[in-house]
Amino acid sequence: MNIELRFESFVDSSAASIAALPESRLRDLLYSMKRLRFVEESIAAKYSEQKMRCPVHLSTGQETVSSAAGLALRKSDLAVSGHRAHGHYIGKGGSVERMLAEIYGKVTGCSRGKGGSMHLIDESVGFMGSTAIVGGTIPVGVGLGLAMQVKAQSAGAIPGQIACVFLGDGAVEEGAFYEAANFAAVRKLPILFLCENNLYSVYSPLKPRQPEGRRIADMVRALGIPSEAGDGNDAATTLLKIDQAVSRIRAGQGPQFLEFFAYRWREHCGPNFDNNIGYRSEAEYEFWRAREPVARLEQNLLERGIVTEAWLDEADRLIEEETAQAFAFAETSAFPEANDAFTDVCFAADHQWVQPEGMNEARRFETSYVAPQISEVALDSANVPNSVGVTAPPIVGTTSPTSLGGSL
C-alpha cells in the first residue's frame, strides 16, 4: 500500500499544534467537524428514502480541511469548490437548511432547486459557488482574487481579503489548474489553494494518474507557489498550517498551496460503503479509519481537559437538534413551480449589479464559521435554548472563553 509510506512520512505533530492553538478555537474546530460529520452521515442514512433525488458526494472522513478553513477564513473572504463541496460550504458558514433543501430539490434551496448537491452557493458568507466539473472553479477562484487586486485601490476594497479555492488530487491533473495556478503566481494574487488528496479520482487511484514519488505540493512549488503538504487527519496541525498560509497571503506574499491527505469513507458518489467492489481494499480503509480525524481530535481534547464529556454530550445534542430542524425545513419546504425551469437563463439587460453580500464591510472581520457556545449553564436542560446556534450562553468549564467572532 503505497499510500502508507506517504502517510507515515508525516510526523505526528498534533500535540504541539494543540498546545499552540487557543482552546476556544480547538473547541470550535471540533464542533465544526462533528457537525459536518453528523450532517453527512444523516444524508447517508436518509438517502434511501428517495427524497434526495440527485447525486451526493459525501465528505465523511474528510472533515478537517473544511472545518479548519472555515475557522481560518473571514466571512468576507471568498471561496469556490467542486463536486464534493458539502464540507467546504458548511465550513465556510453556509446555511445547512438551505443546502439540504437544495438536495431535496426545494425552492428554499440555496440554488432554488436548480443546482442540487453539486451546485451550492451562499454569498452571504462568501461561498461563491461549487460546480460539478473537476477543476472548473479553480480559474474562477483565481478570478475572484484578480478582482480583489484590480479593486485594491478603490473605496470598496476590503483590506487583507483573499480567495480560497478548494480542490482535490484529480483537479491538479486538469489543465485548468495549471493555467490558473500559473496566472495566480504571475500576478501574485491573494489565493489560497486547499487541495484534499483523497487518493482517488472516482475509482482511479493515483498510480495511473500521477508519477510515483512526485508529490502534488512539490509540483506546485515548482510552478512558483509556496506549497506544503500535511496530514489531513491531524486537525489541529491542519488549522495551524492554514492559519499560517492565510497570514502570508494577507501580508501580500501572493498565492499559497496546501495539500492535505484525507480519506473518503463512503463511495465516490452516494450513501454507501464500497470497499467490496474491488478498487480499494478493506485493509486500506481500516488503515485510514484508525487515523480518522474527528475521534482523534476529540480524544486529544478530552485528554487535555479542553473539552469534557459533558461538553461533548451537549455538542452532540445541539448538532442533532440543528440537523433535525434543517431536515425538517428541507422536507416541509415547497418544490419550485414547474415554470421555474424556464427562468434565470439570462439576466435582464437593465439588471442592477450588486456586490456579493460577503463583501459587506460590516462583516469583514467575522470568521466564516461561527460555532455556537456550549456552556455549563446550557447543560442544565431547563436553560437550553431552542434556537440552536443562535442564542448562546457563555462558556464551557475551562479557562478561555468560547469564541464567537473568531480570533482573527
Partner 1 sequence: MSRQITFGKAINEAIETSMELDPHMICYGLGADDPKGVFGTTLGLAGKFGPRVFDMPTSENGMTGVAIGAALNGVRSVVTHQRLDFFLLAMDQLVNNAAKWSYMFGGQRSVPITIRLILGRGWGQGPTHSQNLQSWFAHVPGLKVVMPTTAADAKGLLMSAIFDPNPVVFLEHRWLHEMSGEVPAGDFRLPLERAQIMNAGEDVTIVSMSYMSVEALHAIDTLKSNGISPELIDLKSVNPIDWNTILTSVKKTGRLLVCDTSNETLSVAGEIVARVSMELFGDLKCAPRRLALPDVPSPTSHALTKTYYQRAEHIVESVGQMMGREIDAMPMIAARTNPHDVPGQWFKGPF
Report yes or no: 220 and 254 within 8 Å, Cβ to Cβ: no
Rounded to 5 degrees, φ, ψ at 128 are -90, -5
Report yes or no: 176 and 212 within 8 Å, Cβ to Cβ: no
* 168 touches partner 1 (CB under 8 A): no
> CA-based angle 15:374:39, to the nearest 5?
80
* 154 touches partner 1 (CB under 8 A): yes
Per-position x/- string for 89-118, each x denoting binding to partner 1 as judged by CB under 8 A, each - no binding: --------------------xxxxxxx---
* 186 touches partner 1 (CB under 8 A): yes
For residues 226 and 245, what is the distance between their CA atoms, to the nearest angstrom? 9
Per-position x/- string for 337-356, each x denoting binding to partner 1 as judged by CB under 8 A, each - no binding: ------xxxxxxx-x-x-xx
* 281 touches partner 1 (CB under 8 A): no
Q: Please, what is the minimum distance in Å from the beta carbon of residue 124 to partner 1?
A: 10
Smaller CB separation from partner 1, 223 or 302: 223
Which of 129, 160, 254, 271 contacts partner 1 by CB under 8 A? 129
Reference 235, options 12, 6, 5; nearest CA is: 12
Q: Please, what is the minimum distance in Å from the beta carbon of residue 118 to partner 1?
A: 9
The position carrying cell 449589479 is 353
Smaller CB separation from partner 1, 152 or 251: 152
For residues 52 and 33, what is the distance between their CA atoms, to the nearest angstrom? 23
Reference 168, options 242, 268, 29; nearest CA is: 268
* 33 touches partner 1 (CB under 8 A): no
Q: Please, what is the minimum distance in Å from the beta carbon of residue 35 to partner 1?
A: 24
Reference 61, options 206, 235, 195; nearest CA is: 235
Count of other CB atoms within 10 angstroms of residue 265: 21
Q: Please, what is the minimum distance in Å from the beta carbon of residue 346 to partner 1?
A: 5
Take residue 272 and report the three cell numbers written for it. 454507501
Q: Please, what is the minimum distance in Å from the beta carbon of residue 148 to partner 1?
A: 7
Smaller CB separation from partner 1, 155 or 390: 155
Take residue 269 and report the three cell numbers written for it. 458518489
Checking phi first, is residue 245 left (phi over 0); if not, alpha (psi -120 to 50) or beta? alpha
Take residue 266 and report the three cell numbers written for it. 463512503
Q: Please, what is the minimum distance in Å from the beta carbon of residue 364 to partner 1?
A: 15
Q: Please, what is the minimum distance in Å from the beta carbon of residue 171 to partner 1?
A: 12
Burial of 369 (0-12, 13-18, 19+ CB in 10 A): buried
Which of 151, 248, 317, 363 contacts partner 1 by CB under 8 A? 151
Per-position x/- string for 231-270, each x denoting binding to partner 1 as judged by CB under 8 A, each - no binding: ----------------------------------------
Smaller CB separation from partner 1, 82 or 293: 82
- Give, to the nearest 10 degrees, the angle between helix 293-303 and helix 309-332: 140
Rounded to 5 degrees, φ, ψ at 389 are 75, 5
* 73 touches partner 1 (CB under 8 A): no
* 83 touches partner 1 (CB under 8 A): no
Binding site for partner 1 (CB under 8 A): 78, 80, 109-115, 119, 121, 123, 128-129, 131, 133, 136-148, 150-151, 154, 156, 163, 175-176, 178-180, 182-183, 186, 343-349, 351, 353, 355-356, 359
